[in-house]
């Protein structure tokens, strides 16, 4: 476990002078780009050098057009962060659900998400993030074929060296509840079970990971982390690329809520959960507790 392996997910909103607490995630905030520096400085002071940006635009539409707009919130954030914090490693979450009016992770055909039609939009989004300054892109949509589509599009623009961290084994999970509140991205109808995975299914997780590696994923991810340690281990043992795991919003909020009620001790549980992910085999750990964990690593409480 070391600080270099921590990734902090951050929510960026349109507007100015915004730093608003996310009600379902105490201690986590949405920032406008003019104030994101406060958090980025805190993180780099703590020794956390990687951040992943999620954009939450004011205007959402059917085709999620602010996901790939040159002046989209996340594109502006990348340009500013690249200029002002050149030592940070910037990762772009690539998905449509934060940008579509219907809240699904792809474009629709009737009441269904159209997998193949979505690929072009995801590729466009990835390219626009990298053009704006993203060092790596992380597709979280779970459409089939998106890693290959993104790789091809990046290569065509000359971004041969920009890696892809694929959310490969991403489950349809109730642990994402607080995130959807934070990103205002709950689907307006239906659910995500046609593209995210069934949590009963171990073998499918491995299959999805192998497909992503074949398509060119440089890092694969298991998500959520807690309750999925068996899969982190299986995938770590089975593929030759680094494995990331994402300790998602629900994991964070459960710890916060239980600690606030006095039922558990926050720091100890946070450390124990992180250690379990690393023990399972995670190489990179995406967590809302990144700064606090870095502090515990410095203090020798975990390592």
Rounded CA gap, 299 and 205, in Å? 36
Q: Is residue 170 flagged as an active site residue?
A: yes
Catalytic status, residue 223: yes
Stretch that binds ligand PBG, among 90-98, 113-121, 208-216, 276-284 (CB under 6 A): 90-98
Smallest separation, CB 180 to ligand PBG (Å): 6
Residues 247-286 that bind ligand PBG (CB under 6 A): 248-249
> What ranges make up the beta strands (E) of the chain?
6-13, 19-21, 29-32, 50-56, 89-94, 108-109, 112-113, 136-139, 165-170, 219-223, 243-247, 284-287
- Residue 73 zone, left/alpha/beta (φ > 0; ψ -120 to 50; rest): alpha
Is the CB of 162 or the CB of 185 nearer to ligand PBG?
185
CA distances from 111 to 19, 121, 172 (A): 35, 18, 18
Among 81, 95, 147, 273, binds ligand PBG (CB under 6 A): 95
- Contacts of 23 by beta carbon, 8 Å cutoff, 6+ apart: 181
CA 39/CA 96 separation, integer angstroms: 25
Mask: binding to ligand PBG, 2-41, rule CB under 6 A, as x and -? Answer: ----------------------------------------
* Contacting residue, 31, 179, 278, 289, with ligand PBG by CB under 6 A: 179
Least distance CB 162 / ligand PBG (angstroms): 19
| CA distances in angstroms from 25 to 112, 152, 176, 236, listed in the order given | 30, 37, 11, 30
Shortest reach from residue 290's CB to ligand PBG, in Å: 12
Backbone angles phi, psi at 216, to 5 degrees: 115, 15
The two structure tokens encoding residue 173: 């999970």
Cα–chain center distance at 139 = 8
By CB under 6 A, the residues from 100 to 139 that bind ligand PBG are 105
Q: Stretches 16-24, 175-183, 268-276, 292-300: which one binds ligand PBG (CB under 6 A)?
A: 175-183
- Region from 68-76, 173-181, 262-270, 293-301 binding ligand PBG, contact rule CB under 6 A: 173-181
Give the active site residue among 124, 223, 236, 256.
223
Tell me whether strands 19-21 and 29-32 are parallel, antiparallel or unpaired.
antiparallel
What is the footprint of ligand PBG within residues 183-242 (CB under 6 A)? none
By C-alpha distance, which of 241, 256, 258 is closest to 289?
Answer: 256
Token readout for 215 is 């398509």
Shortest CB 97 distance to ligand PBG, Å:
5
- Segment near ligand PBG (CB under 6 A); pick from 83-91, 154-162, 174-182, 258-266: 174-182
Between residues 99 and 278, which has the closer beta carbon with respect to ligand PBG? 99
Does 176 contact ligand PBG by CB under 6 A?
Answer: yes
Catalytic residue among 170, 236, 256, 291: 170
Please, which residue, 61 or 84, has the CB nearer to ligand PBG? 61
C-beta of 173: minimal distance to ligand PBG in Å? 8
Is-contact 141 84, C-beta < 8 A?
Answer: no
CA of residue 267 relative to chain centroid, distance: 23
**Footprint of ligand PBG (CB under 6 A):** 93, 95, 97, 105, 140, 176, 179-180, 248-249
Annotated catalytic residues are 170, 223
């Amino acid at each position: 476990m070391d600080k270099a392996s921590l990734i902090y997910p951050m929510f960026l909103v349109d507007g100015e002078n915004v730093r608003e607490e996310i009600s379902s995630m105490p201690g986590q905030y949405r920032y406008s780009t003019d104030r994101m520096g406060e958090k980025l400085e805190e993180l780099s002071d703590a020794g956390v050098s990687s951040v992943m940006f999620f954009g939450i635009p004011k205007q959402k539409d059917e085709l999620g057009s602010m996901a790939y707009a040159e002046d989209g919130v996340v594109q502006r954030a990348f340009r500013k962060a690249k200029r002002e914090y050149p030592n940070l490693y910037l990762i772009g979450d690539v998905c449509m659900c934060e940008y579509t009016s219907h809240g699904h992770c792809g474009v629709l055909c009737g009441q269904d998400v159209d997998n193949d039609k979505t690929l072009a939009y995801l590729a466009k989004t990835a390219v626009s993030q990298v053009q704006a300054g993203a060092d790596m892109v992380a597709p979280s949509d779970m459409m089939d074929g998106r890693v290959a589509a993104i790789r091809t599009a990046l290569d065509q623009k000359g971004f041969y060296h920009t890696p892809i961290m694929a959310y490969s084994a991403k489950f349809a999970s109730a642990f994402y509840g607080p995130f959807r509140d934070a990103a205002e991205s709950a689907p307006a109808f239906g659910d995500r079970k046609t593209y995210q995975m069934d949590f009963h299914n171990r073998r499918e997780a491995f299959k999805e990971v192998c497909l992503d590696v074949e398509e060119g994923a440089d890092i694969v991810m298991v998500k959520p982390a807690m309750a999925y340690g068996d899969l982190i281990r299986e995938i770590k043992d089975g593929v030759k690329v680094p494995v990331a795991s994402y300790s998602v919003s629900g994991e964070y909020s459960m710890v916060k809520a239980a600690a606030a009620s006095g039922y558990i001790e926050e720091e100890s549980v946070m450390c124990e959960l992180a250690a379990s992910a690393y023990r399972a085999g995670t190489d990179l750990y995406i967590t809302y507790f990144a700064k606090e964990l870095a502090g515990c690593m410095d203090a020798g409480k975990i390592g």
